[in-house]
């Protein structure tokens, strides 16, 4: 496949719910929705509190540190990732009590293990979008 | 007290199935018509005898927000109760319970429960929310990637023996070889080494852990046992217990992804039926991936948590064994006709209960358990878990 025909990595399509989140990601900040009534965070962003059903959510910036909950090495690439394989995907438990997933960078497949500390890092998808990823927190 | 199924007042009186084919070039309506025609011929009924229809929303027609109307129109059905269920692979066992409730409530008397999908010819589904923003841009390889995460976590908490998954793959392949409706390309022998040496998709998940997508359709007819007797039906199966759960553990933001709704609906369905796992003559689980079947065996209670490998290795799961599993090949070896794949296991269970499974017949089965699984949520295990127990009439 010619470089000009290479499929692009899918970019997120921000919604009225997620626009503050993606705006922050583009500035290399990571926001989580926080429910002050029960003192709990949630991810992915929703239109109400997962814990109470109320719409009293606040955005809070977090450090983005956590541990690997599970991982998989992608051998057959997803759409838009052709030529990148093999690459690692991790599920990460953040210190704030939520779980998310993304790419793991700067780590060999043999070195990733469950429980390993990781921290957020950033990928440039295109001129308009950054995306969050992880790397070992050594 | 709500009406239950245990008094056997609901009967499934026939089944129809279309051969699974990759890239058939056919429309969803055409494969549906073939399945409907087959089950009408099986039961001796005509379209005018049907007054209810239940179906699943397939990816090949998901852009149509009048799907039930269009499908019923194409099939020539005038219905007083119509249902499209969109809980993915849990939709069709779910439709047995929904149809039963509709019949018991008097909305209709005879339901065509039909599943048709041609995703290898046409796909028009468009899932937003977490999928477009938080899944697709990460590069995770869809369901195989999600199950790769589940399998590595399972290996962290329990003992996973890949030769046990290989044994399950081989047992189902043996069924597909003698199942004329299986995808032709899969009807060739394999052994455990073929499984172990299969190409990795998303570690530790291999190509032979997975289903092969295809086009296909299937249908059953559900009515009251009274009407079945008036029609002079000789063979019937009664759905006697059903439980489903969607969004298991949704309030837990860091759940154990090796646990699923089957921990609840498995024991619950058995209790409704006043049965234990020992009373189940054959198991026809929803099989998008081999590990999903092992998790179901554990959580429904055929064995303990983490004992799935040992259970599979020590149990004869062939048609003549202690617990026959997916005797027609399941979706993994017969092919997955999109979301119509969620009724393939019910069709095979009926074929067995009616004594029509020819070379793969289970000796004189009187009970069957079928299951359904729907959707892969964001970094969780599957979204809907469903258990249906049937008894020969």
Closest approach of B127 to chain A, Cα-based (Å):
12
pLDDT per position as a tens digit, B288-315: 999 999 999 999 999 999 999 999 999 9
A31 touches B at CB < 8 Å? no
Query: Using one digit for the tens of pLDDT, what is the confidence trace for B338-381?
Result: 999 999 999 999 999 999 999 999 999 999 999 999 999 999 99
Structure tokens at B73: 């129109």
pLDDT of residue B228: 98
Flag whether pLDDT at B102 surpasses 70: yes
Does residue B144 surpass a pLDDT of 50?
yes
The answer to whether A26 faces chain B, any CB pair under 8 Å, is no
Give the whole-angstrom CA distance, residue A130 versus residue B11. 56
d(CA A71, CA A101): 9
The confidence band for A23, taking pLDDT boundaries of 50, 70 and 90, is very high
Pairing assessment for the beta strands A130-136 and B10-17 based on DSSP bridges:
unpaired
Instruction: Let me know: does B43 contact B230? Beta carbons within 8 Å.
Output: no
CA distance B94 to B97: 5
A87 part of contact set with chain B, CB < 8 Å: yes
What is the residue-averaged pLDDT of chain A? 95
The answer for residues whose C-beta is within 8 angstroms of residue B45's C-beta and 6 or more apart is: B110, B221, B231
**A76–B202: do the CB atoms touch at under 8 Å?**
yes
Q: Is the pLDDT of residue B393 over 80?
A: yes
Hey, what are B116's tokens? 């048709």
Contact between B388 and B342 under an 8 Å Cβ cutoff? The reply is: no
**Taking residues B2-17, what's their average pLDDT?**
92
Cβ-proximal residues to B34 (8 Å cutoff; 6+ apart), any chain: B16, B18, B217
Nearest to B133 among A18, A93, A114 (CB): A18
The answer to whether A78 contacts B203, with C-beta atoms less than 8 Å apart, is: no
Give contacts of A99 with chain B, Cβ < 8 Å: 253-254, 379
Task: List CB contacts of B227: < 8 A, sequence separation 6 or more.
Answer: B109, B110
Closest CA to B14 of B251, B170, B228: B228
pLDDT band at residue B215, thresholds of 50, 70 and 90?
very high
Q: In this complex, which of A50, A81, A97 lies closest to B139 when CB atoms are compared?
A: A81
Beta strands in A36-84 (DSSP E): 40-42, 58-62, 65-74
- For residue B340, the 8-state DSSP code is G
- Average pLDDT, stretch B317-321? 98
State residue B193 phi and psi, 5-degree precision: -65, -35
Both tokens of B350, joined, read 């009926």
The predicted pLDDT at position A138 comes to 87
Nearest to A70 among B152, B200, B250 (CB): B152
Q: Note whether A73 contacts B203, CB cutoff 8 Å.
A: yes
Mean pLDDT across chain B: 97
The pLDDT of residue A1: 43
Note whether A50 contacts B199, CB cutoff 8 Å: no
The predicted structure's pLDDT at residue A7 = 82
- Predicted confidence band of residue B2 (pLDDT cuts 50, 70, 90): low
Query: CB of B96 within 8 A of CB of B131?
Result: no
- The span from the CA of B40 to the CA of B236, in Å, is 15
Share of chain B above pLDDT 90, in %: 99
Coil, strand, or helix at residue B86? coil
Residues 6+ apart with CB under 8 A from A128: A11, A26
Q: Enumerate chain B positions whose Cβ falls within 8 A of a Cβ in A.
A: 128-130, 132-142, 144-145, 148-153, 156, 199-205, 250-251, 253-254, 257, 378-379
Tell me what the mean pLDDT of segment B68-74 comes to: 98
In Å, the largest CA–CA distance within chain B is: 57
Give mean pLDDT, residues B61-69.
Answer: 96
B295 alpha carbon, distance to own chain's centre: 15
Looking at chain B, how many residues does it have?
393
Q: What is the ipTM of this complex?
A: 0.96
Residue with tokens 């998940």: B205
| Residue A43 sits at the chain B interface (C-beta within 8 Å) | yes
Residue A3 has pLDDT above 90, yes or no: no
B282-to-A34, A73, B348, B369 alpha-carbon distances in Å: 47, 35, 11, 7
Tell me how far the alpha carbon of residue B54 is from its chain's centroid. Answer: 15
**What is d(CA B42, CA B268) in angstroms, rounded to the nearest whole number?**
33
- Of the candidates A11, A75, A76, which has its C-beta nearest B137's C-beta? A11
> Does B140 contact A14 at a Cβ distance shorter than 8 Å?
no
Kindly report the CA angle at B54 between B48 and B60, in degrees rounded to 5? 110
Strand B52-56 and strand A130-136: pairing?
A: unpaired
pLDDT, tens only, B222-255: 999 999 999 999 999 999 999 999 999 999 999 9
pLDDT in tens, A55-102: 999 999 999 999 999 999 999 999 999 999 999 999 999 999 999 999
CB B101 within 8 A of CB B111: no
E strands within B225-347? Answer: 237-246, 283-284
């Amino acid at each position: 496949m010619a470089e000009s025909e290479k499929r692009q990595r899918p970019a997120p399509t921000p919604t009225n719910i997620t626009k503050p989140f993606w705006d922050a990601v583009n500035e290399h900040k990571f926001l989580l929705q926080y429910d002050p009534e029960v003192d709990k965070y949630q991810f992915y962003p929703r239109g109400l509190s997962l814990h109470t059903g109320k719409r009293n959510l606040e955005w809070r910036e977090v450090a983005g540190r956590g541990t690997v909950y599970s991982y998989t090495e992608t051998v057959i690439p997803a759409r838009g990732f052709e030529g990148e394989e093999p690459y690692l995907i991790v599920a990460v438990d953040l210190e704030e009590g939520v779980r998310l997933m993304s790419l793991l960078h700067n780590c060999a497949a043999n070195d990733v293990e469950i429980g390993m500390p990781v921290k957020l890092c950033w990928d440039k998808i295109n001129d308009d979008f950054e995306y969050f990823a992880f790397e070992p927190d050594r | 007290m709500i009406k239950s199924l245990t008094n056997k007042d609901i009967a499934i009186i026939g089944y129809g199935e279309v051969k699974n084919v990759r890239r058939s070039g056919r429309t969803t309506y055409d494969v549906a018509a073939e399945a409907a025609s087959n089950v009408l011929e099986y039961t001796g009924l005509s379209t005018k005898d049907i007054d209810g229809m239940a179906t699943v929303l397939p990816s090949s027609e998901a852009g149509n927000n009048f799907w039930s109307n269009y499908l019923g129109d194409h099939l020539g059905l005038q219905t007083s109760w119509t249902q499209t269920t969109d809980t993915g692979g849990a939709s069709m066992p779910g439709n047995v319970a929904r149809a039963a409730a509709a019949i018991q409530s008097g909305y209709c008397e005879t339901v065509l429960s039909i599943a048709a999908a041609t995703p290898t010819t046409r796909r028009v589904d468009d899932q937003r929310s977490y999928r477009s923003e938080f899944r697709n841009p990460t590069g995770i390889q869809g369901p195989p990637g999600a199950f790769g995460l589940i399998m590595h976590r399972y290996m962290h908490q329990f003992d996973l023996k890949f030769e046990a998954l290989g044994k399950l793959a081989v047992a189902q392949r043996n069924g597909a070889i003698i199942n004329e409706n299986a995808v032709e390309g899969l009807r060739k022998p394999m052994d455990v080494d073929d499984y172990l040496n299969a190409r990795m998709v998303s570690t530790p998940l291999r190509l032979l852990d997975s289903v092969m997508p295809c086009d296909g359709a299937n249908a059953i007819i559900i009515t009251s046992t009274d009407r079945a007797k008036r029609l002079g039906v000789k063979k019937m199966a009664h759905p006697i217990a059903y439980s489903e759960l969607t969004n298991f553990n949704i309030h837990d933001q860091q759940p154990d992804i090796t646990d699923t709704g089957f921990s609840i609906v498995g024991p619950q369905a058995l209790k409704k039926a006043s049965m234990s796992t020992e009373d189940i003559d054959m198991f026809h689980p929803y099989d998008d991936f081999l590990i999903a079947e092992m998790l179901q065996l554990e959580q429904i209670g055929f064995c303990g948590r983490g004992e799935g490998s040992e259970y599979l290795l020590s149990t004869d799961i062939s048609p003549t064994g202690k617990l026959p599993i997916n005797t027609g090949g399941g979706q993994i070896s017969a092919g997955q006709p999109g979301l119509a794949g969620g009724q393939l296991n019910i069709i095979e269970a009926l074929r067995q209960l009616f004594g029509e499974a020819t070379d793969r017949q289970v000796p004189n089965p009187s009970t069957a358990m079928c299951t359904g699984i729907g959707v892969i949520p964001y970094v969780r295990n599957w979204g809907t878990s469903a258990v249906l127990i049937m008894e020969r009439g």
